[in-house]
Structure formats: structure tokens, C-alpha cells
Amino acid sequence: MTLLLALAIADVILLGGWAGAGLSASPWYSVVHVAFTVAAFGVLALDSRPAGAEGRPGWSPWDWNGLSLPLGAVFGPAAILLFILFRPWSMLALRTTEHGMPFEAAVPARHRLHGSQLLTARLLDDRMRFPSAPGVESIATILRHGDLESRCAALQTVVRSFEPKLSPLVAMALADPDQTVRALAAATSAQISANLAERIARFEAMPAPGVQDRFDFAMLLYDHGCNNVLLSQSQATALRAKATDRLTALLAEPGLQARRRDAAMKALATLQAYRPASSGSAGAPSMAPA
């Protein structure tokens, strides 16, 4: 830094003398000015060092941001020194901290998103889209009248955004005239049933599920029992019966939040409307929880 300061002072004196004598007084003024500038860059290159070397913080001339490097080269050692000291464009680097660390790395670990929080963030800021009612209608139209590639793409959209209310679209694909679409729909149907069985087994393996877990599980049974047309009648009946029992028990819980209580009451009313048409079923499948 001392050599750079000396070069800056010498260059300012040179430019002062050059301006006093007239810009066309001698061509050597410009040559010496360029030489000082090149020497300043050489000093910077020699003085740059990795972080922690000799106990000093690391920096490099190539860490400059914005227009520091080109303007420093134009105006000479004095400008280079000023840009190093004041870094006038450092505030434009909004994604870095004062140590050049990425913005995300500067966030404390306890404030970072992990696991399901990342997925929730994707849902909240619309990076993950689910079919709306017009979207579902257009998917059904594609499955009926689209070409083979479009029908496969529509079915894959249903798979990515699956919820039990979309199961009629998978059932429609099971009756597709093309064997490829039927095979894809059959694999989708099997995977949906396997996922449901896995979630049931996972809940039953929990030693002491809380109110939230029991509410989510009861709503899962309700949703599949009422809306999943891929299940057999006995499977759907068993799921609705279990959902009714669990929702009834949940409504007696004092710790159930008001919003969830309202949802449970609405679901229970829907299930009770199903009961007369589905009572008397026997032989619930092994997939239904005990």
C-alpha cells in the first residue's frame, strides 16, 4: 500500500506539471503516466494474498466490483487508490456481505429453511402449481381427445399434482384406447394405493401421535374414502368408517384448534351422508387401519 501511495502522489505531481505546461508540451508525460498506472497494477498483483496469510485478511485486486478496475486504469494510480479505500460500488453487491460471503451463507443456520419448509415455501410463492378447476377440465379434455404424447403428458401432470379428487382422471386413463397410456395409468394407480398403505403403516407405527398427527391422518382417510375412485367399494367403505370414528374422537379433544375443528365437523357431516349408502360392508382390506 505504501508503494501504491507513492505512485499515486508521483502521478498527481506529474499530471499537475503536465497541465501547467500544456497538454501538448511533451509526449513523455503520457508515457510516464501509463508507466505509473501499470506499476500500480503490478504493486496490487504482488500485494494480493490469500485470506489468513501472515495473519492479515485476504484480498485481491480482482475482487473489485463495478467500474473500479476500468476507471482505475483510465485515471491512474490515484484513482486506483481511492477505489480501493472507498469502494464506491460495494453497495451494489446486494447478494454479498462485507467479506464477500454469499447472502444465503450469511443467514444464521436457525433462520434457514430445511426439509418440508422448503416445500412449503415453494407452494406459498407459486413455484409449485396444482391444477385449478379449469386446469382439471382441460386435462380431462386432453385425455379424451388429445394425441398420445399429450395424453401421457396430461397423466404425468395428474401424477405430480395428485390428490384423491383427481383420481377420476387416472380412472379415465385406465380406459384409454392406447396400451401405453393404460399401462402408465395402471402403474400410477398401483403407486397411489402403495403410497396410501405406506402412510397408514407409518401412522400406526407412531408410538404416541399428537392431535395434529391424528387430525391429518383422519383427514387422509376421509379424503381417500370419499374421493378416491381407484379404491374398491369395500376399501372406500372401510376408510370412511375409520375416518368417522377418528374424527368423532378428535372433536372431543380440547386441544384441537378451531380451524381444524371446523374442518373436522364438515368432513364428519360429509361422511355421515355417505353412511346410509355404504353401510353393511364387510371384509375391509388389509390396507385399512385397524
**pLDDT tens-digit readout, 57-105:** 444 554 554 455 666 667 777 777 777 776 655 544 444 444 444 444 4
Residue 3: which residues within 8 A CB-CB, separation 6 or more?
43
Co-location of 168 and 222 in the same domain: no
The model's confidence at residue 19, banded by pLDDT at 50, 70 and 90, is low
Could you tell me if residue 107 is inside a domain? Answer: no
The model's confidence at residue 141, banded by pLDDT at 50, 70 and 90, is confident
Domain containing 210 — which CATH number? 1.20.58
Could you tell me if residue 173 is inside a domain? Answer: yes
> How far is residue 175's CA from residue 186's CA, in Å, rounded to a whole number?
10
The model's confidence at residue 25, banded by pLDDT at 50, 70 and 90, is low
The model's confidence at residue 121, banded by pLDDT at 50, 70 and 90, is low
Domain limit, last residue, from 83, 101, 119: 101
In contact, 225 and 284? CB cutoff 8 Å: no
Could you tell me if residue 253 is inside a domain? Answer: yes
171-202: per-residue pLDDT in tens?
888 888 888 888 888 888 888 888 888 889 99
Domain coverage including residue 230 = 206-280
DSSP annotation of 128 reads S
Could you tell me if residue 84 is inside a domain? Answer: yes
Q: At what angle do helices 148-160 and 167-174 cross, to 10 degrees?
A: 150
In contact, 256 and 213? CB cutoff 8 Å: no
Task: Identify the CA nearest to 56 among candidates 45, 48, 64, 67.
Answer: 48
> How far is residue 24's CA from residue 26's CA, in Å, rounded to a whole number?
6
Could you tell me if residue 239 is inside a domain? Answer: yes
pLDDT score for 191: 83
Could you tell me if residue 288 is inside a domain? Answer: no
Co-location of 89 and 157 in the same domain: no
Co-location of 246 and 215 in the same domain: yes
Co-location of 217 and 180 in the same domain: no
Whether the pLDDT of residue 6 is over 70: the answer is yes
